[in-house]
Chain A
Amino acid sequence: MGLKENLHNFKVKNKGKKWLPAFSAIHTFLFLPNEVTHNGTHIKAADDLKRTMNTVIMAMVPCLIFGMFNAGYQHHLAFDGIQAVSGGFFSAEFWTLDNFLVGFWKILPLVIVSYGVGLGIEFIFAIIKGHEVEEGYLVTGMLVPLIVPIDIPLWMLAVAVVFGVVIGKEVFGGTGMNILNPALTIRAFLFFAYPTWMSGDKVWVEGAVARDRAIAAGENLDAVSGETILGSLAQGKEVAHSVADMFFGFIPGSIGETSTLLIILGGLFLIFAKIGSWRIMLSSVLGALAVGLIFNQVVDAGVITETSKFYGLMSTPFWHHLLIGGFAFGTVFMATDPVTAAQTNKGKWYYGFFVGFISILIRVFNPAYPEGVMLAILLMNVFAPTIDHYVVQGNVKKRKKRLKVKTA
């Protein structure tokens, strides 16, 4: 007997056992189940939730791999003074095995902790509540390592994942029922619980924090820093990177958020696959550009001068906002989460626009923390049902009006 028959017999033999969902999760991972239709349509389309989630993960894989190279590159750039990239996206200085391995050994544990802890909780809840393990965490588990700084301690990540999955998702009833994006809930938890590990100029470069500690302990070493572009702008410092670097992603930042190019490719793939909502992505970009333009106008009009602490970010050319920080990543992979975004097509336009608009607004005006996309998406998650409510009411009103015309 082959694997297929063995697994099937095992499933049949243990039918009704409490732990069966845990087995099923692995079983259905290997094999598409033998379930058939009963009432309703006798045939079904090819897509299931696993396929949908898997497609999103596939779109993120290039960002993950780039993040590994970039982690090593930023490390070597800061510590060993290697040559900076010069030859565009395929610069030989960047794509070295050495760079990759530094990142790989640093990021792989983050991925393992994220999936291990998160899926572990999902399994436990599935068994307690007696339902199948739902696939929502497959994407969340991939998003989480991509939106944290490289040097985040693993235990912090584990604690945050527990918080995010339990409070952000399971208390609402699990996948499909949550109000806030679980990955962003995890990040928000980290950000408010351990702010020193989530911002500043040390955490973005592998080893910089350790170096700092060594210096504090009295060792005679040079301090290493790697500030994000947002950090520099917020403090009114000179930005050390070119626009091309920002677009290609050779900059410090959260692991997966730096390469706007690869994020755009991932986004286009998701739009093509009809998995990601182009309405949200497009309107979010429009919202960000709109507010960026307004700020540029304000600066041009001379209302804000160089002495203002907002000058740095307000005077940034409006389209640069799309390239820096986590805006692109958030727009493509996080704002589009179908569960927490607006669910009506019209509502998606409003939702996306406000995500973009508020992201840049927070970015410019928040003195403590220049990255606004996380808070903007979480805020709009909360408002998405309200947006949908008004969109649906439009349809309801039309129906009532039709009735009135008839009876009048």
Chain B
Amino acid sequence: MSNDIRIKKGLDIKLKGAADKTVEQAIISNYCTIRPEDFHGIIPKLIAKEGTTVQAGDTLFHDKSNEKLIFVSPVSGKVVEVIRGPKRRIDAIKIEADKTQSYKDFGKIAVETAQPEEVKAHLLASGCWPFVKQRPYDVVANPERSPKAIFISGYASAPLAADLDFTLQGKEAELQAAVTALGKLTEGKVHVSVGQTANSPLSGLKGITLHKVSGPHPSGNVGTQINKIDPVNKGEVVWTIGAQDLVIIGELLLTGKFNAERIVALVGSSVQKPRYFKTLIGSEVSTMIYDKGIDKAGHDRIISGNVLSGKEIKADGSLGYYCNVISVIPEGDDYEFFGWNKPIFNKVSTSRAFTFSWLNPKKVYDLNTNTNGEHRAFVTTGTYEEVFPLDIYPLQILKACLYKDLDEMEALGMYEVAPEDFALTEFVCVSKQPHQKIIREGLDLMLKEIG
């Protein structure tokens, strides 16, 4: 069965530096770094102390409030450094990788006949659970609760996103195993969305409800799809899993190995030859960005993730846990003479206030990190609605988050949203307000007060 989801409101930001469809094996990274902050809301309790030797799949730490929720090492090697921040908070765990990798054997599982409890225990024990995220709150799923449905987006509409049709090629067996296993954990459906014209390996899967998505970004965001298919109500939970993470889950189920390999797109206007790399979670980005990539002397912003919701990292940083794209764009810390009133042709805008991106919707832009203006109070209205397809009032919910009215946040639909749903409203915001941060803080507040 296939259902169509047509999104009208939104904005496709076309940027220079889309990846060529070629995959290279990245240089093996000497170090692998895991940052607990990638798992929002998790407070790590360290298991693998400095000096411990680990195999790929061995536990590094678990959640302080739930011992079952473990986080494993993507590589085999030795924990060389635990980097701590203020109040001894663990910022990062650095593992020196072995030359030849060894994997912990978790044992195969007969996916078709396995019991739900068995699947859950297996995913938890192998460290695959953190790939499963939940709404409300956009955090790692609570294993104690069963979701009303599971959502997987196989369509990436964000600017310069990795093409999932391409990166998932040939992974049908793993995807099927993962989807079958996860399907046992919900009484509801497993909703999988693919692009309208896509030739996705996901569309042939069994045991799923397929949706075909069309329209501008954020049509590919799982939050948009949830809102159109089966919105989250108070008291309900849905799970979301990144399509590429399904491959890792599937491989674990089929082979018993935690293989943190994934295909990552290196994109952006600062990259000489944007293309795909095969690498491991937590790898140093320096193994990928320099070869026919960026200029070492250049002044660029390296982002683990896409340009709208990714995280800024330094050149010696590493790939985030959930990321399948590294974007590199020029920094924009320069002044522009009369930049606020002269006609603008080389930047994206949804208005036509002497901005001319409406003239040529196909044009590809080279945007930098300049904010194009200063932070102001909310003034304009109606601009967010144009790029926000969810049935939620964006300005009102943002304001509710700012004045911390829990009842109002709940009533306006806070259980349904994740920060990334507000990436486009943040992009177009005339007042340059940090929408995603406001939503994240609002969700954290609700999680703390309501749970």
Q: How far does the alpha carbon of A29 sit from the alpha carbon of B338 in the complex, in Å? A: 7
A258 sits at the interface (CB 8 A) = no
Q: Are A43 and B13 in contact (CB under 8 A)?
A: yes
A12-54 residues with Cβ-Cβ distance < 8 A to B are: 28-52, 54
Interface flag for B193 (CB, 8 Å): no
Other-chain residue from B159, B310, B373 in contact with A48 (beta carbon distance below 8 A): B373
When A and B form their complex, what is the total count of cross-chain residue pairs whose Cβ atoms lie within 8 Å?
228
Best-surrounded residue of B309, B350, B381, B383 (most CB of chain A within 10 A)? B381
Residues on B with C-beta less than 8 A from A402 are 231, 233
Contact with B344, one of A35, A46, A388, A400 (Cβ below 8 angstroms):
A46
Which of B53-61, B247-255, B362-370 contacts its partner? B362-370
Which residue of A38, A52, A134 is within 8 Å of B353 (Cβ)?
Answer: A52
A212 at the interface (CB under 8 A from B): no
Smallest Cβ distance from B113 to chain A, in angstroms? 32
Interface residues on A, range: 35 or more
- Some 28 contacts from A to B, beta carbons below 8 A apart, are A32-B339, A32-B340, A32-B372, A36-B369, A37-B370, A39-B312, A39-B436, A42-B308, A44-B426, A45-B350, A45-B372, A46-B347, A47-B373, A49-B374, A50-B340, A51-B430, A54-B340, A132-B376, A175-B376, A176-B377, A277-B381, A338-B379, A338-B382, A343-B381, A343-B396, A348-B382, A399-B231, A406-B233
Contacts A52-B379, A176-B377 given; 14 further ones with Cβ under 8 A? A30-B338, A32-B373, A33-B335, A34-B335, A35-B333, A42-B312, A44-B429, A45-B428, A49-B373, A50-B340, A52-B353, A272-B352, A273-B353, A406-B233
Question: Once the chains bind, are A403 and B336 in contact (CB under 8 Å)?
Answer: no
B351 CB contact (under 8 Å) in A8, A274, A277, A392: A274
Q: Which residues of B contact A47 (CB under 8 A)?
A: 349-351, 353, 355, 372-373, 428, 430
Interface contact B427-A54, CB-CB below 8 Å: no
Whether B372 lies near A46 (C-beta < 8 A) is yes
Partner of A45, one of B159, B336, B338, B348: B348
Which B residues are in CB contact (< 8 Å) with A50? 340-341, 373
Interface size class of B (residues with CB under 8 A): 35 or more
Q: Which 7 A-B pairs have the closest CB atoms?
A: A48-B373, A32-B339, A176-B377, A46-B347, A31-B335, A50-B340, A32-B336
**Chain B residues near A48 (CB, 8 Å)?**
340, 371-374, 376, 430, 432
Q: Judging by beta carbons under 8 Å apart, are B379 and A40 in contact? A: no
Let me know if B329 is at the binding interface, CB within 8 A: yes
With CB as the reference atom, state the residue of chain B lying closest to A57. B341
Give B98 Cβ to nearest chain A Cβ, in Å: 35
Are A39 and B377 interface neighbours, CB within 8 A?
A: no
Binds A, one of B130-138, B314-322, B387-395: B387-395
CA distance A188 to B412 in the complex (A): 36
- Is the C-beta of B84 less than 8 angstroms from some C-beta in chain A? no
B357 within 8 A of A: yes
Q: Does B378 sit at the interface, judged by CB under 8 A?
A: yes
Set of chain B residues within 8 Å of A46, measured between Cβ atoms: 344, 347-349, 355, 357, 372
User: By the criterion CB–CB under 8 Å, are A35 and B413 in contact?
Assistant: no
Judge if A345 is at the interface, Cβ distance under 8 Å. Answer: yes
Contact yes or no, A338 B381, CB < 8 A: yes
From B309, B372, B412, B435, residue with most partner A Cβ within 10 Å = B372
A35, B233: Cα distance in complex, Å: 39
A28, B340: Cβ atoms under 8 Å? Answer: yes
A339-B430 Cα distance, complex, nearest whole Å? 13
Is B339 touching A52 in the complex (CB atoms < 8 A)?
A: no
> Distance in Å from the Cβ of B366 to the closest Cβ of chain A?
10
Which of chain B's residues have a CB closer than 8 A to the CB of A287?
Answer: none
| C-alpha gap A275/B355 in the complex (Å) | 12
Given contacts A37-B369, A52-B353, A55-B353, are A277 and B374 in contact (CB under 8 A)?
no
Interface positions, chain A 365-403, Cβ under 8 Å from B, are: 388, 392, 395-396, 398-400, 402-403
CA distance A273 to B331 in the complex (A): 29
Residues of chain A within 8 A of B449, CB atoms compared = none
Set B375, B377, B393: member contacting A344, Cβ < 8 A: B393
Interface check A200, CB cutoff 8 A: no
Q: What are the residues of chain A within 8 A of B375 when measuring CB–CB?
A: 132
Task: Name the residue of chain A whose CB is nearest to the CB of B345.
Answer: A46
Q: Is A145 in the interface zone, CB < 8 Å from B?
A: no
Known: A176-B431, A345-B385, A399-B413. A43 touches B377 (CB 8 A): no
The verdict on A122 contacting chain B, using a C-beta distance below 8 Å, is: no
Contacts of B376 in A (CB 8 A): 48-49, 132, 134-135, 175-176
Q: In whole angstroms, what is the CA distance A88 to B327 when docked?
A: 59
Query: B13, B335, B411, B434: which contacts A8 (Cβ < 8 A)?
Result: B335
A36 to chain B, nearest CB (A): 4
- Nearest residue (CB) in B for A337 is B379
B178 at the interface (CB under 8 A from A): no
Alpha-carbon distance between A39 and B439 when the two chains are bound, in angstroms: 13
Alpha-carbon distance between A173 and B428 when the two chains are bound, in angstroms? 24
A341 interface contact, C-beta 8 A = yes
B327 — which chain A residues lie within 8 A by C-beta? 42
CB distance from A283 to the nearest CB of B (A): 14
Asked if A4 is an interface residue, CB under 8 A from chain B, the answer is yes
Cβ-neighbour of B382 out of A33, A339, A345 (below 8 A):
A345
Asked whether A51 and B340 contact (CB < 8 A) given A44-B371, A177-B377, A403-B234, the answer is yes
**Interface pair A43/B355, CB less than 8 Å apart:** no
Q: Are B381 and A34 in contact (CB under 8 A)?
A: no
> For the complex, is B437 an interface residue (Cβ under 8 Å from A)?
yes
Please name the residue on chain A nearest to B234 by beta carbon.
A403
Contact B354 A55 (CB under 8 A): yes
B189 to chain A, nearest CB (A): 15
Interface residues of A in 318-376 (CB under 8 A from B): 338-339, 341, 343-345, 348
Interface residue? B194 (CB, 8 A):
no
With a cutoff of 8 Å between Cβ atoms, the chain B residues found around residue A116 in the complex are none
Contact in complex: A35, B371 (CB < 8 Å): yes
Tell me, yes or no, whether B175 is within 8 Å of chain A by CB: no
**Counting CB contacts under 8 A, is B332 at the interface?**
yes
The reply to whether the CB of B334 lies closer than 8 angstroms to some CB of chain A is yes
Contact: B430 with A49, CB < 8 Å? Answer: yes
The CA of A40 and the CA of B350, in the complex, are separated in Å by: 19
A268 to chain B, nearest CB (A): 12
B263 to chain A, nearest CB (A): 22
Is A168 an interface residue when CB atoms closer than 8 A count as contact?
A: no
Rounded to whole angstroms, the CA-CA distance of A46 and B372 in the bound complex is 6
In the complex, chain A residues whose CB is within 8 Å of the CB of B371: 33, 35-37, 44, 48
Complex interface bits, A212-231 against B, C-beta within 8 A gives 1, otherwise 0? 00000000000000000000
Please name all residues of chain B whose beta carbon is closer than 8 Å to the beta carbon of A49 when the two chains form the complex.
373-374, 376, 379-380, 430-431
B370: chain A residues at CB < 8 Å are 32, 34-37, 44
Closest Cβ–Cβ distance, residue A260 to chain B (whole Å): 24
**How distant is B30 from chain A, measured CB to nearest CB, in Å?**
28
